[in-house]
Homo-oligomer: A and B are copies of this chain.
Amino acid sequence: MRTGRPRSFCKDEALDRAMNIFWRQGYEGASMADLTQAMGINSPSLYACFGSKEGLFKAVLDHYDQRRAQFMQDVLDAPTAAEVAEAFLYGVADFVANTGGNNPPGCLMLQGGISCGDSQIPDVLAKHRAEKEAMLRTRFEKAKCCGDLCECANPAALARYLSAMANGICVQAAAGASPEELREVATLALSGWQSAAADTGVRDADKVKSEETA
């Protein structure tokens, strides 16, 4: 067992409370004083455990991912591409409208800070969002193989579309939209799914992009 005086606080609960502050005020808007007060610890304890404010933020992001992992799994487990899209957008709409605990409406991966004095924070958040988008893309590639998505469909574009839509819903939630309004947006986004899923073979932006990164 680990020697020395044991930690007097629960790391997970401290992360929960820090998450709430970052969510509410963003990375830069959350001061160390705000964080330590919410977490119920003093700054030396925080630094010993997380290294720095930025280290705490990254730990909070991982914590957030863990809390959302089951949701993403359920989405990806939906039987068809259309049902994946539906589960994703309605799930996001429901979640961002009521985020549980006393977290504010919206999504930490946006509220955390899409712009910042230190540009590293937006990059980290963008990477986390891109991960989710990549999961959807992979799922749609699989759907294409399985035949429940048109041959001419563009999985990357569809995933990007859903990701963008989810972010838009998050922004509206943070601005105070009601759960019903958010579901309505999701409904509109899904109403054209058939034509959307069939339409995405015409452009070649993704092919160009994948050649660039190859």
Contacts and interface: CB of A to CB of B under 8 A. Distances in A.
Interface of A: 23-26, 28-31, 34, 106, 110-118, 122, 126, 129-130, 154, 157-158, 160-161, 163-169, 171-172, 174-178, 180-181, 183-185, 187-189, 191-196, 199-200, 203, 205-206, 208-209
A167 B172 CA distance: 9
Contact of A126 (B28, B30, B176, B208): B176
Given A163-B172, A168-B171, A178-B208, 16 more contacts: A26-B115, A29-B117, A29-B118, A110-B114, A112-B115, A113-B115, A114-B174, A160-B184, A163-B168, A167-B171, A167-B172, A168-B169, A178-B209, A180-B205, A183-B205, A184-B206
28 contacts: A26-B28, A28-B28, A29-B117, A30-B117, A31-B117, A114-B114, A114-B171, A115-B174, A126-B175, A129-B171, A158-B188, A160-B177, A160-B184, A161-B189, A165-B165, A165-B189, A166-B168, A168-B168, A178-B208, A180-B203, A181-B206, A184-B206, A189-B189, A191-B195, A191-B199, A192-B193, A192-B195, A192-B196
Specify how many copies of this chain sit in the oligomer: 2
Given A168-B168, A172-B163, A184 B209 contact: no
Contacts of A200: 184, 187-188
